[in-house]
Structure 1
Amino acid sequence: MVRRINEVGEGRYREEYGRYYEDFEVGDVYEHRPKRTITQDDNVRFTLLTMNNHPLHFDDTYGEDTEFGECLVNSTLTLSVVTGMSVSDVSYKTVANLGWDDVRLTNPVFHGDTLSAESEVLGKRESESRPDDGIVTVETRGYKQTDEQVIEFERSMLIPKRDTDE
C-alpha cells in the first residue's frame, strides 16, 4: 500500500493512502492486509441484510444435512470482504468503480475461516473520455488460512492521474 505522510501544519501530519494512475505497473502484485476472520454473526447478518433467505447460510440444522456438513458463508459476503481488503491498495483514490468481471468461487468458505487477498495489475490505459484519469484493471484473489484459493475476479476502476488530483 502506498502510504504518504503529509505535513498539514506546523507539527501536524495527515496520512494519505492509495495509488494514482501512474503508480500502477502491469504485473505488480499487492498483498492486502490485514486478514479477516469471518464469523457466524458476520454471515448471518449479511445474509439477512441482503434478503438472501437460503437456509444454507443461517440454519445450522439444514447445513449439517448438506454435503458440506455445515453452513456456508454467503458468496457475496466473500466477494464484499475480499474487495474491501483491496481498497487501500488499489482503489482508495478511485473516481469510479467500473465493474467486476469473471467472478469465480473456487472453494467454499465456512464460519471461522480467515481470509487474505492479493491483487495483480492486469492492465492500464488512459481514459478516452476523461483526460485527467486512467483505467486500471486488476485480478484479485482471496485465500483462506489453508492457502486454498476461495475467490478470484477482475475489477476495473477509474483512477485519477497524480498531477490533476493535487
Structure 2
Amino acid sequence: MRTNSFHTVAPGTYREDGGLEYEDFVPDEVVEHRPGRTITMTDNVWSSLLCLNQHPLHIDAVYAERTGFGRIVVSSLVTFGIVNGMTVATISAKGVANLGWDKVRLSAPVFVGDTLYARTRILAKRESRTRPDEGIVTVHTTGLNQDGVTVIAFDRTILVPRRKEDR
C-alpha cells in the first residue's frame, strides 16, 4: 500500500497528511487501526443521552444488573461511532464524502472497560462515472474487543480524491 503520509513544507520540515487517495486502495489489502480505544462509562452515558437513547440498559446500573447481561451494556451507537472513527485517519481522512454504510452487524455486547480495535479490508474500488477527479471505494470494517471477539462489522462506501499525477 503506497501512502503519502508526510509532505515537505521546508527543508527538514514535514507536515502530516493522513488518509489514502484512490490509487492507494488495493482490493483485499487489510489495514489494522491503532491505537485501540478503551470504553469508559462517560463515553457511554454522554453518547446515549446526546442521541436521546435513554434505554435503561445503557444508563441505569440497577436495571442492567437485573438483565441477562448483569451489567450496563455500551450503546451500539457508541461502539459504531468509535470503531468507525478509528478508521478515519487512514481510510477517509482525504474522503470527499461518505456515501453510506451497509450490512452493519452487532455480534457481541460491549461493556465499559472493553478495549476496541478495528481492522479494515478493502473490498472494491472504481473510478467515479460523473467525477473524473474522484473514485469510489468500498471497505469492510471489523471491530474487535481485547479478546479478539468481533463486536461489530460493517461495509462503508466512500468518495475519495484521485492523485493528480495519476489522472
Q: Deviations over 1:131-153 (max 9, x none)?
A: 11000000000000011000000
Aligned mates of 1:81, 1:42 — CA distance in 2: 10
Q: Secondary structure at the match of 1:22?
A: helix
Query: Where does residue 65 of structure 1 map in the other structure?
Result: 66
Q: Give the fraction of aligned pairs with identical amino acids, expressed as a percent.
A: 53
Please give the secondary structure, in 1, of the residue aligned with 2:17: strand
Q: Deviation per CA, 1:52-91: give whole Å up to 9, x if none.
A: 1101001000000000000100001100000000011111
Match of 2:152 in 1: 151
Further displaced range: 52-61 or 4-13: 4-13
Q: What is the CA-CA distance between 1:3 and the residue it aligns to?
A: 5.2
Q: Which moved more, 1:131-140 or 1:5-14?
A: 5-14
Return the alpha-carbon distance in structure 2 between the equivalents of residues 153 and 133 of structure 1.
23
Q: Which amino acid aligns with 2:8?
A: E
RMSD: 1.5
Residue of structure 2 equivalent to 1:95: 96
Secondary structure of the structure 2 residue equivalent to 1:53: coil
Q: Distance in 1 between matches of 2:8 and 2:125?
A: 31
TM-score (norm 2): 0.95
| Count of residue pairs the alignment pairs up | 165
Deviation for aligned residue 1:7? 1.7
One-letter code aligned to 1:74: S
**Distance in 2 (alpha carbons) for counterparts of 1:69 and 1:9:** 57
Instruction: Name the residue aligned to 1:120.
Output: 121
Deviation at 1:41, TM superposition (A): 1.0
Check conservation: 1:7, 1:14, Cα contact below 8 A: yes
Alpha-carbon deviation of 1:4? 2.4
* TM-score normalized with structure 1 length: 0.95
Q: Name the CA distance, whole Å, in 1 between partners of 2:139 and 2:93.
A: 14
Aligned to 2:83: 82
Structure 1 residue 38, shift from structure 2 partner: 0.3
| Residue segments in structure 1 that go unaligned for 5+ positions in a row | none
Unaligned runs of 5+ in 2: none
